[in-house]
Amino acid sequence: MKKFNKILIGIFTFAILISLFNVTTVLGADASIPVVGNTITSQVQANNRTMFQFEYQTRLNFTSNVNIDLNLDCDSFRIGEKDFEIEIDADGDLEMTMTCREEQIQLGLQKGSTFRIKERHRYRYEEGFCLQIQCNGTCDAKLKIKATNENRNGEWAYYYEGEWVTVPTTIEDGNLVAETDHFSYWTILIPEADNTLWIYISVGAAVIGVAVIAVVLVIYLKKRK
């Protein structure tokens, strides 16, 4: 009888442990928060992934090793379908404000606009997604946005002292990824092909062509005489 009671106690204890494990798993699960309208004030719990889905279109995903008090403002109506993610690594809890817009006209950022960065390479803005991040502390961060056929060659860029500055950008798990330790205005810029060389080649070919035609014409006229 005592042996039977021990077996029952063991089974009961095991069942309690399984239940506690399941509860912990549920509480630690990724959170998905639907947002109606443009703004929300919320919190990201440390070591959990939280997704804010604005009007069932724009998705902002947060992962952090610390707690973050968030103020989000996202113009999802104009931005539309976008998947953005930020990974935060900080030493202490943070307060963060993030504003997402389709364009930032005061920064010259309009869809279809082009930029000459460092007076060399030309870039085009087509992403339709620009974010401004403000934070009360320092941290390291990874910025990610879903790679598409349109932005696959794009580069993350931030606004600094009146111009856009591109940073090294890689593709990881289907996302355009960049690392940073500071926040500002950020977006994706698409590099345009440098057609300067082809212009010189085309002009040179045209000049040579005209010269050849002129020589042939001169020879022809001399033979007729």
pLDDT in tens, 38-93: 999 999 999 999 999 999 899 999 999 999 999 999 999 999 999 999 999 999 99
| 184 in a structural domain | yes
My answer on whether 190 and 202 are in the same domain is: no
pLDDT tier for residue 178 given thresholds of 50, 70 and 90: very high
My answer on whether 53 and 115 are in the same domain is: yes
The answer to whether 109 and 103 are in contact (CB under 8 A) is: yes
Collapsed DSSP state (helix, strand, coil) of residue 37: coil
My answer on whether 204 and 174 are in the same domain is: no
Q: What is the pLDDT of residue 151?
A: 96
Give the Cα separation of 71 and 153 in Å (integer).
Answer: 31
| 8 in a structural domain | no
pLDDT tier for residue 104 given thresholds of 50, 70 and 90: very high
Write the CA distances from 123 to 76, 114, 162, integer angstroms: 25, 5, 15
Q: What is the pLDDT of residue 194?
A: 53
Q: What is the pLDDT of residue 31?
A: 86
| 109 in a structural domain | yes
| 81 in a structural domain | yes
My answer on whether 114 and 161 are in the same domain is: yes
Give the Cα separation of 136 and 158 in Å (integer).
Answer: 19
State which residues form the domain around 213.
197-225
Q: Please indicate whether residue 102 or residue 204 has the higher confidence score (pLDDT).
A: 102
My answer on whether 110 and 62 are in the same domain is: yes
Number of domains forming the structure of the chain: 2
